Structure 1
Amino acid sequence: MKRRTFLKTTTLAAAALAAPGLTMAGASKKLRIGTITPGSHFWTQTMDRVGKSMAEKSGGAFASEIFPSGQLGNEATMIQQLQAGGLDMGFLTVAEFSNRIDDMAALFTPYLVADVAQASKLLTGATATAMLDQYKTLGMKGLGFGLGGMRHLISRKSAATSADLAGRKYRITPFAPLRDFYELMDVAPTPVPLPGLFDALANGQVDGADIDLELAWKLKLYDQAPNLKITSQMMFPVVAVVSGKYWAGLDAGEKEMLSQTVSEEIDWLFAQYVEFEPKWLADLKGTGMSVSSAEPEFFGDTLAQWNGIWEPKAPSIAALRAEAQALA
């Protein structure tokens, strides 16, 4: 179904959610889905696929509307809409949820997995699946964890060790586990909206960024930050959540259909990152970037210090580590 263009202000967009005629004619179940990523991003494509699959499986009883690019506001705003029942479903970063549920920080444990293939297995494993139950505390149903690639360092100036990062300003996604990680290295974590990151690097507002290969390539960040350190220090998960009010309105068969559909399309998402991560890396190397790899030792004492802060707050770290070791 062709995606429509909606007003971008949060208030007006939220009001548009309640307007009639936003779903296919004849559909009895509206499924309104919010994301922060543009239509070209794999996360938004995953939700498009969920909507189309639900329509096919239900014979048109379900129809979806996707609100990409943060049209309904930032993730904090969309979480509020999910809790109030003004939004039916979100495909949102676990980062934002870790500001509300400490245990979600476990999924950002440094060097938990080596690559996206291991990450996809861990995020569908027993421990991560059990962690989905914690979204009940926010009035939501957690349906599954997806992935946004591994995290690396891109910068205007090169760095041999993390000591070289001290005093620099790095763009991060603003959430506590990642903020702690950079502050432990005396780096100034600097939140910058992704659409403004290219300019922020160009004008020196930031010296570098904690980034995945997809965005480094698609946002052309190599033009302003020609140094890429392949660290793979964290995975960056996303979670599919449904408003508790919407979930309660579905019968058992519909709940099973939606759960299964989300699971199938998240598997598709994992496959895209497994396929495209090496391609994006090759593309970035082809720009003439200075690309080097770093082992965990690059971060010095930061890893142990981070663990000391977060292991008491995020009890799932131990179980995830045990499960991850079996994947190695």
Structure 2
Amino acid sequence: MKRRTFIKATASVPFTLAAPAVLRAAGKRTLRIGVITPASHFWSECMVRVGESLNAKTSGAIETTVFPSGQLGNEPTMIQQIQAGSLDMGFLTVAEFSNRIDDMASLFAPYLVTNVDDAATLLKGPTATGMLDQYTTLGMKGLGFGLGGMRHLIALSKSATADDLAGKKFRITPFAPLRDFYDLMEVAPTPIPLPGLFDALANGQVDGADIDLELAWKLKLFDKARNLTTTNHMMFPNVAVMSGRVWASLDDSEKQLVAETVSEELDWLFAQYSAFDPKWLEDLKGTGIAVQAADEQFFGPVLDEWSGIWEPKAPSIAGLRSEAASL
């Protein structure tokens, strides 16, 4: 039987701040948090840090258990659990939520930003923060957006422009905004689970992948796909959400404590990508693969065509673009 790993966040030394009165009176509260990524991934580490901080700030009144690697199911399953209140929190991709809330596609508009620092600023800005309110339509409280880096192209062969990709198969995360982006390039978007991507490149099942630098490096995709085009064409955000039922059970002081703690640790997450994204790029270059930089011109008319599809369905695109223009 496969052993399941979970991470319990506690604090060995009580913090000096007083715990909220309701927590002291009610005894310990345990929050269960689901994450799709492995325990070593920054997203999982971020949620462990949230738990450790909550535990310290409440002198042990709040404990958390983080379930990494999709142990509680895939993201659609965890979303259902959060809606039902059987899972307290999740740290999940905005990609999955864009299949339920069209406006979440706004965060994937091509070339809103071209680096992780600007992405972090935009995700903490007024438009993105306002978008968190939309999660109430799903029975959830949106606590804040995080980040999983910028998107690039890694492939078996070199491409000078997007026209060279036509007829090829690229692994993508299966959600509508990204699927439309590749359809417009006449690329066959192919959803393959990440653990199988290396073999899919090796046996020619796919010709390349839409990927971030972290996974290109950690999954050793460079051993098979020897061409990296650093396009920075989209950011890849995730979101911390709490069950609406659980959120409603908290008093105002508890809500403030949870919200502030999540915000603090999301800042830690942004800092990790700011520090490591340049390092991963240098590591990839060090393998000897061909690396070329590309900008908006690489994609030609595809960007305007994508906007024509999604601007009517995702009204927050305008606000995000306005904020991004000032960065």
Same fold (TM over 0.5): yes
In 2: Cα distance, 1:23 partner to 1:52 partner: 5
Partner Cα separation in structure 2 for residue 66 and residue 23 of structure 1: 8
1:146 aligns with 2:113: no
The residue correspondences of 1:1-328 to structure 2 (distance < 5 A) are: 6=4, 28-327=28-327
Q: Distance between the aligned counterparts of 1:23 and 1:47, measured in 2?
A: 9
Q: Which residue identity is paired with 1:50?
A: V
Name the TM-score, length of structure 2 as normaliser.
0.93
Q: CA deviation at 1:28?
A: 1.6
Residues 174-211 of structure 1 show CA distances to partners (whole Å, capped at 9, x for unaligned) of 00000000000000000011111111111111110000
| Equivalent residues of 1:171, 1:192 under 8 A apart | yes
d(CA) in 1 for partners of 2:98, 2:265 = 24
1:251 CA drift (Å): 1.2
Deviation at 1:73, TM superposition (A): 1.1
- SS of the residue aligned with 1:143? strand
What's the CA shift string for 1:198-242, capped at 9, x where partnerless?
A: 111111111100000000001100001110000000000000000
3-state SS of paired residue (2:265): helix
Shift of 1:248: 1.1
Q: Which residue of 1 aligns with 2:14?
A: none
Cα offsets for 1:37-71 (capped at 9, x unmatched): 00111100000100000000010011111110111
What SS class does the counterpart of residue 225 from structure 1 fall into? Answer: coil
- Counterpart secondary structure, 2:233: coil
Cα deviation, residue 86, structure 1: 1.0
Is residue 27–residue 63 contact of structure 1 (8 Å, CA) maintained in 2?
no
**TM-score of the two chains, using structure 1 as the length reference:** 0.92
Out of 276-285 and 197-206, give the one that drifted further.
197-206
The answer on whether the counterparts of 2:217 and 2:280 sit within 8 Å (CA) in structure 1 is: yes
Counterparts of 2:300 and 2:127, CA distance in 1:
28
* Shift in CA distance, 247/285, structure 1 to aligned 2, threshold 3 Å: same
Residue 24 of structure 1: how far off its partner (Å): 6.9
Whether the aligned pair in 1 keeps the contact of 2:9 and 2:52 (CA below 8 Å) is no
Maintained 8 Å contact 2:140/2:242: yes
Q: Is the 8 A contact 1:201 1:208 kept in 2?
A: yes
CA-atom RMSD, angstroms? 1.6
Matched residue, 2:22: none
Mapped to 2, the partners of 1:306 and 1:175 lie a distance apart of: 14
Query: What CA distance in whole angstroms lies between the structure 2 residues aligned with 1:261 and 1:236?
Result: 22
Contact 2:10 / 2:52 at 8 angstroms: preserved in 1?
A: no
Distance, in Å, in 2 between the alignment partners of 1:121 and 1:39 is 26
Q: How many residues align?
A: 310
Are 2:10 and 2:55, in contact at CA under 8 Å, matched by a contact in 1? no
5+ residue gaps, structure 1 = 9-21
Report if the CA contact (8 A) 2:91-2:239 is conserved. Answer: yes
- AA aligned to 1:123 is L
Determine the C-alpha separation between the residues in 2 that align with 1:114 and 1:300.
17
Deviation at 1:317, TM superposition (A): 0.3
SS at 1:205's partner residue?
A: coil
How far, CA to CA, are the matches of 1:203 and 1:111 in structure 2? 32
1:67 partner amino acid: F
* Partner Cα separation in structure 1 for residue 193 and residue 284 of structure 2: 22
Provide the C-alpha distance between the structure 2 equivalents of 1:203 and 1:323, rounded to a whole number of angstroms.
Answer: 43
Give the match for residue 16 of structure 2. none
| Native 8 Å contact 2:116 2:273 kept in 1 | yes
Instruction: Give the letter aligned to residue 261 of structure 1.
Output: T
How far is the alpha carbon of 1:295 from its aligned partner?
Answer: 1.4
Contact 1:27–1:60 at 8 Å: present in 2 too?
Answer: no
Q: Indicate the SS of the match to 1:92.
A: strand
